[in-house]
Amino acid sequence: MSAVRYLPVGCLLSFAFGLAVGNSRHEPVPVHVNVQPLELLKPAKENWLTYHGGYSGQRFSGLTQIDVTNAGRLRAQWVFHARNSNLLEATPVVVNGLMLVTSANDAFALDAETG
């Protein structure tokens, strides 16, 4: 497999690493997340509320923890293996440290810091 196939996975892991660094929390993952309509128009930097990150579809994050000076030193902090999914590549939705990922038949709520 070429490095290009791994690019989306690397981006996802990098994004998850940035969330883990910038969002240290230790309380249990919430069962319900309430997002207001105005938050969808201008989400907080640490949230990724839609498939493309926001309604603009730019897939841009305003987080500054990862840049050209440290991107090459990123390492996975945790890995999630979804059951019944041989090859899972998905864009998660992230709200206040809660990462939501779907596979073919399941939905998973993960703590973005610990997995």
Residue 16: its pLDDT value, please? Answer: 53
Give the tens place of pLDDT for each residue, 21-57. 444 455 665 666 677 888 877 878 888 888 788 777 7
Domain count, the chain: 1
Residue 1: its pLDDT value, please? Answer: 46
Its pTM surpasses 0.75: no
Provide the residue range defining the domain that includes 90.
3-111
Sign of CA dihedral 7, 107, 82, 31: positive
